[in-house]
Amino acid sequence: MPTGPEIILTLKILVAAVTVLFAASIVAIATKRKRLHGRINVAFFILTMTTVVGFELLLRLGADTTAHFSDAARDALRVHLRFAIPAALLLPIMLYSGLKPYKRLHVPLGILFSILWGGTFVTGLFFLPHE
């Protein structure tokens, strides 16, 4: 079973990787390539939700992975989750509204999601401990 720091390091790598997809999706829509934007978003959704479910299973089925974290590390994880959980909950709505297409819903939610993902990225990569 992986340790808490190994899980956090893997999480950081995956957050960085899907953020590249998210940036590519933004570039695609900015250059008016809606079909590419949609395809990238489907891939982003699948990879992100797979990561969320996988990590949730690891944390629920494994030992207490945060047992050796300092109080500061636990606080950093709590802050990260305040961005990551709402972003993950918003993601299916974003995908649905983009596929239908409900532009009047999708665009404002996209702005909110971008803010939440920015917080997820910054707190996930720069504040979570992996040592």
Residue 100 lies inside a defined structural domain of this protein: yes
Query: What number is the average pLDDT over the span 82-91?
Result: 95
Residue 131 lies inside a defined structural domain of this protein: no
More confident residue, 130 or 99: 99
Q: Could you list the residue range(s) of the whole structural domain that residue 26 is in?
A: 4-126
Reading the block at residue 60, the tokens are: 């629920």
Residue 79 lies inside a defined structural domain of this protein: yes
Q: pTM for this one? A: 0.87
Residue 60 lies inside a defined structural domain of this protein: yes
Based on the structure, what is the number of domains in the chain?
1
- Per-residue buried b or exposed e for 57-80, using 16+ beta carbons within 10 Å of the residue's own CB: ebeeeeeebeeebeeebeebbeeb
With a pLDDT cut of 70, the percent of the chain lying above it is: 91
